[in-house]
Amino acid sequence: MRIIRAPTLARAHELAVRTVLEKGWVLETENGEATVECEELALEVESPERPPMASPASRFQQRFLDAYAENLLHGSEAQFEYDYHRRLFDWGEGLTVDGRDVHIDQIDYIVRKLTAAKNSRRAIAVTWNPAVDENLDDCPCLQIVQCLIRDGKLQMKAVFRSNDILSAAGANIYALVHLQKSIAGRLGIPCGRYTHIALVPHIYYLRDINDIEPFCRSGTEIRPIAAVCRACGRCPRSAAG
């Protein structure tokens, strides 16, 4: 596992993109999509609220990120195969206990658990629901959210089974830190470290080729593997590759 420590969420995102593009390898997914995949990544940001929270290189900027965070915290009218708001605040789709539908607000559980036991390691929420997800074409990438109170601050750790580092990760970390802030506010304590763990970090280097150059800056910031440079073709490194 590669560990990236950064002063801001924006810088953590940029370094994660760099790591996948420079240290990764080409792999075609089970759906036939071309990716660059990398070994596990852990992004650690001690002060996740410190600006900038979004990289200027990302095509997803403030208006989109705020809407994404709002949907995570409060839900959306849009219909998807799944959404993280329901998985965190209303887990249990398709399940019954004693003839009653299951509806579990896992975020409320986290708040109650940490209120009752400030040193607890059990304040977790999960998204995976085998009754539903084994049959979905599009299933949750985020798997676990854990909250801890350490040194009087709320830490959050998020684990993704798979994470699109270029296009999705920036919005993921932005929204999850807003969730962290919300939980911290309910507990009456400040935010502490945010840790983002991607078990299979990847970039769709053909599908999102136009989004790579703002991070790469014609090879001055990032020196991607040869396959990415050949696909891009926008600087001298592409011919050399």
Active site residues: 141
**Do the beta carbons of residue 151 and residue 189 sit within 8 Å?**
no
Cα distances (Å, whole numbers) of residue 69 to 28, 111, 143, 211: 31, 19, 17, 21
H or E element, residue 175: helix 169-187
Q: Which are the contacts of 210, defined by CB distance < 8 A and separation ≥ 6?
A: none
CA gap 75, 206 in Å, rounded: 31
Cα distances (Å, whole numbers) of residue 144 to 40, 124, 211, 223: 16, 7, 28, 32
Picking from 82, 81, 50, 86, the residue whose alpha carbon sits closest to that of residue 174 is 50
Picking from 125, 105, 123, 104, the residue whose alpha carbon sits closest to that of residue 114 is 123
Which residue carries 């390898």 as its tokens?
A: 25
| Alpha helices, DSSP H, located in 91-168 | 106-116, 130-133
Cα distances (Å, whole numbers) of residue 168 to 81, 127, 202: 17, 17, 10
